[in-house]
Amino acid sequence: MSKVARYLQVEDILLAVNVSSKQRLFEQVGQHLQETRQLPADGVTASLWRREQAASTAIGEGVAVPHARLAELDRIHALYLRPQAAMAFAAPDQQPVSDILVLLVPAPADQQHLDLLADTARLFGNPRFRQALLRCNQATQVKQLFDHW
């Protein structure tokens, strides 16, 4: 089981998301977490946007890992999103992003946060994992892949 799998719930896997920009993506994440976890949508959106303004969270190969620290959190939350169409994300390889893993961690960040980012980079750095992920058409399939990889 990947470390990400511990924090990723089926209800936080959103496929065919209709977004056209990073800002709209972050707003949708905020709205989702407000509806499902009673977290403040504006706070989530603003935290993700501030982090993205510091430097792009795209890591290449069509993957982005937006992440932020939130004082309101008591535990880590992970969300996987796949936009309907790949989107620009200022990736180092200039490729559009089609796999997005959002990580929200309690503030202040600790070693667990850094370990989770490293595990995410390792996971998405594997071309076989990315190919298997693209074949998943349902949230339950995505969750099973993360659980058993």
Residue 67 among the catalytic residues: yes
Six-digit token string for 116? 């989770």
Catalytic one of 67, 77, 113, 148: 67
- Find the radius of gyration of the CA atoms of the chain: 14
**Beta-bridge partner residues of 15:** 82
Catalytic residues: 67
